[in-house]
Chains A and B, each alone.
Chain A
Amino acid sequence: MTREEIFEKVKEVLVDALAADDDEVTAEATLEGDLGAESIDYLDIRFKLEQEFDFKIADGELFPDDVGRNSEFVQDGKVTATGIAAMKEKLPHIDFTAFEANPEVGKVSELFTVDTLVSFVENKLAG
């Protein structure tokens, strides 16, 4: 499956899960800020990706599930170097370059774009 084909399927998933318009779902769109995803939507997206692409996604594999709860990972409202390292290891489909310059917890959601999901699926399908 080409990256474009994956993008089209991911787009369908997001239009369905987030009631987003077709033209809103661009590669750069952030799930939360641009497409209005809320916490339960991340689980919905995960379920729908599993169904669409016929693979299983483990807890924390697609989105980080323990950053905010682990005191080693967050201090003074910022994700620590340990936290970033842990996320990088768990989430190789995400580009942390811009985030590392100002790793505020509130900006973690900006890491998750449509393109991120496409990369995730691409990696999963490649095994």
Chain B
Amino acid sequence: MWIDRITELVPAERMVAIKNVSLAEDHLHDHFPRTETRGALPVMPASLILEGMAQTGGVLVGHAGAFREKVILAKISKAELTREAMPGSTLRYTATVQRMDSRGAATMGTVDLLDHAGSGTFEPIGEVNLMFSFLDQNMGAAAGFPDHNFVFGDAFKTILRTSGIAIPGEDD
């Protein structure tokens, strides 16, 4: 998972999640490794920050439909990040539903960074707007996808539970 905890959920409206960036994550050792001219520069890859926002928006949208839909990230409408996220910092993803209907959803998102060695408060570092497609509604049964909702697997359920959020249909 690329989010650690959901800190706020207003169903079908807004979700906030945090991600602690840790040097224990292997990928930081390769992003970026030491070169002949400079030392290693471990920073959270921007692509994984986008994935964090996709998981935040995806859970928000999936939860709104009681996780019946297979919610797939279909389009990154906007992605702007202005600062690096170093190990020891905390990212905060806030996703807001802009529009949702039977076929899919559009979310707007802000990314904030808490640099524990800096100001000690969350500061905005970017905006990520996404579109999600409901797979079955757009591709139909002929596409041959399985019936069970493979998008929201155990990892998603775990983070919902550990964040104190009931899973519609399972924890009712």
Contacts and interface: CB of A to CB of B under 8 A. Distances in A.
A65 to B, nearest CB: 8
Nearest to B100: A47
A24 interface: no
Contact of A69 (B101, B103, B140): B140
A105 to B, nearest CB: 15
A58 to B, nearest CB: 9
Interface in B92-123: 98-99, 101-104, 106
A50 B106 CA distance: 12
A51 B96 CA distance: 15
B133 A40 contact: yes
Interface in A22-81: 39-41, 43-44, 47, 50-51, 59, 69
A50 B13 CA distance: 18
Given A50-B99, A51-B99, A69-B140, A43 B77 contact: no
A59 B102 contact: yes
A43 B140 contact: no
A41 B75 contact: yes
B151 interface: no
User: Size range of the interface on A?
Assistant: 10 to 19
A103 B102 CA distance: 29
B74 interface: yes
B131 A44 contact: yes
User: Size range of the interface on B?
Assistant: 10 to 19
Contacts, number: 29
B142 interface: yes
Contacts of B140: 69
A60 B74 CA distance: 20
B7 interface: no
Contacts of A59: 101-103
Given A50-B99, A51-B99, A44 B138 contact: no
A39 B139 CA distance: 10
A39 B138 contact: yes
Given A44-B77, A47-B99, A69-B140, 9 more contacts: A17-B77, A39-B138, A40-B104, A43-B103, A44-B106, A47-B98, A47-B106, A51-B99, A59-B103
29 contacts: A17-B77, A39-B133, A39-B138, A40-B74, A40-B75, A40-B104, A40-B131, A40-B133, A41-B75, A43-B74, A43-B103, A43-B104, A43-B131, A43-B133, A44-B75, A44-B77, A44-B106, A44-B131, A47-B98, A47-B99, A47-B106, A50-B99, A51-B98, A51-B99, A59-B101, A59-B102, A59-B103, A69-B140, A69-B142
